[in-house]
A = this chain, B = another copy of it.
Amino acid sequence: MLNYIEYHDASPEVRAVYDDIMAVRKTDWINNFWKSLANDPATLRRTWESIKEIMRPGGALNPLTKELIYVAVSTTNQCGYCIASHTAAARKAGMTDAMFGELMAVVGMANETNRLASGYQVEIDEPFRPR
């Protein structure tokens, strides 16, 4: 079965990704998500490169907003690991208790009204049509 691939057991290709993760994130450890993906080095590399590009500072959305969105999706999907790890990341990026409370309120409400819209079989209003 799959193991977590620790740094000292990792191939040079995997170590290079681990080094980059720690450098970009300014941490000195690798969390289990990456140690799992390291069982498939191609997926490890591709996933990290994509996340690094997407979460990079300097875009139109600031890093905290991106982490809030990550928590919102993970909560909607009810992915335990993802909620735990991205809530920690969001706090590190500046999320306060008050922000977390409002985030949860919006996520909860959106999940409620999503079902009301579907269950009532509501049709898209003309001004909301996309193209």
Contact = CB atoms under 8 A, between A and B. Distances in A.
**Range, interface on chain A:** 35 or more
Interface of A: 1-4, 29, 31-33, 36-37, 39-40, 42-43, 46-47, 50-51, 53-55, 59-61, 65-66, 68-88, 91, 96-125, 127-131
The DSSP consensus for interface residues of chain A is: helix
Q: What is the total number of copies of this protein in its complex?
A: 6
Query: Closest 6 A-B residue pairs measured CB to CB?
Result: A40-B101, A73-B110, A60-B98, A112-B112, A75-B119, A36-B120
Contact of A111 (B73, B85, B102, B104): B73
Contact of A81 (B71, B86, B118): B118
A69 B106 contact: yes
